[in-house]
Amino acid sequence: MIVRRILLTGALLAATTAGAFAQTTGDTIAPPVLHSDVTVTGDVVRIGDVIDNAGTAAEIPIYRAPDLGTTGSLPTAQVIAALQAHQVIGVDTKDIKAVTVTRLSRAIDAKEIQSQVAHAIEHHGGLGDAANLSLTFDRDLQDVQLDSCYTGTVQPVATQFNPRNGRFDVTFEIGSDNNSPSVKLRFTGVAIETVQAAVLTRNVERAEVLKASDVIIERRPKAEIGGDVATRSGAVGMQMRRPLRAGQPLRVTDLVKPDLVQRDSNVTLIYQTAGIYLTIRGKALDNGAEGDMISVLNLQSNRTIAGVVIGHNQVRVSAVTPRIAIPEVSAAQSADTASVSVADSSGPSAALKAE
């Protein structure tokens, strides 16, 4: 009699369990079926997450979920034991050896956070564009993981910047899609505005002409360089005004156009006009860059003239205006018979030779 009661009780329990965890299609009962891969959005794993056809027991929690954005693994035997503890029997495991559980999240990576902070403080307290800001955070900046329900935009709700010491304090708010309270993220640190600067790769001396290999581009604090920072394209081919060490940034005031003519060097004096091109040897009396007006000695006439530097050891000169001499008039000559004569020819060849 006792044995019959035990069997009857077991049969009733099995029937009740099957009714709770099965769905019927006509007269067919669908057994619970185990999942090999499970994703959850909350902080617990429920029966309905790990099996199909869980029935009314689907909302019963059985495990703590992995950390946000991480994945864990459970041996199948351990899962079956947890289900049996809640009277879930007859689960079809489909020969699955382990159940993988992943907790969904919204990840905000460190680079995005840095960009959001830079855009929040740009143009505050005299700062420039976000792209030119270098940020140092008080704590190591790491990726942030939020519950997957927080799908809202990252909105700055409090922004402070102190231009005297460069410190910033920014708070963001992110809304959810299920009416959960918004989450707030706060970041503090120091911001420095930087500029792209031409930086020397080697020590250079005064009057050296910079080559492409002598200059690289680096970002440097704007306060360190000032407003006259030189660009790489503007530095290559220019001549140094003063010696500088490797690693030093270049300013516009450090550079001049290179001298195409050196003092005491032999130069070619050039006179050119429509249909005429004349040259003669000369000697430079000054250094000169392209476009500079310098003094040169005409070696043919041994006279000093002025010309414009137009190339390497080349100086352009202009035609000399003819000088007109008025001869003395004797007392016997009448004023209306006085004559004038041209002292020098006005031709271009004479212009060079006259000098």
Per residue in 200-223, pLDDT (tens digit) is 999 999 989 999 999 999 999 988
The answer to whether the CB of 190 falls within 8 A of the CB of 214 is: no
How many angstroms from the chain centroid is the CA of residue 43? 39
- Count of C-beta atoms within a 10 Å radius of residue 256: 13
| H or E stretch at 81 | helix 76-84
Q: Residue 328: pLDDT above 70? A: no
Identify the CATH assignment for 21-103 out of 1.10.3470, 2.60.480, 2.60.40, 1.10.1060: 2.60.480
- Inform me whether the pLDDT recorded for 143 exceeds 90: yes
Fold topology of 106-256: Type Iii Antifreeze Protein Isoform Hplc 12 (3.90.1210)
What contacts 199, CB < 8 A, 6 or more positions away?
Answer: 215, 216, 217, 218, 220, 247, 248, 249, 250
Confidence class for position 349, pLDDT limits 50, 70, 90: very low
pLDDT in tens, 234-251: 999 999 999 999 999 999
pLDDT band, very low/low/confident/very high, at 60 (cuts 50, 70, 90)? very high
Given a contact cutoff of 8 angstroms between Cβ atoms, the answer to whether 167 and 189 are in contact is yes
Percent of the chain past pLDDT 70, that is, above it, reads 81
- Residue 145 identity (one-letter amino acid): Q
Instruction: Compute the mean pLDDT over every residue in the chain, rounded to the nearest whole number.
Output: 83
107 in Cβ contact with 144 (< 8 Å) = yes
CATH of domain 257-355: 2.30.30.760
Does the structure show a pLDDT above 70 at 82? yes
* pLDDT greater at residue 148 or residue 337: 148
Of 324 and 240, the one with more pLDDT: 240
Could you tell me the pLDDT band of residue 352, with boundaries at 50, 70 and 90? low
- Domain limits of the chain? 21-103, 106-256, 257-355
| Residue 228 confidence (pLDDT) | 86
Average pLDDT over residues 94-103: 96
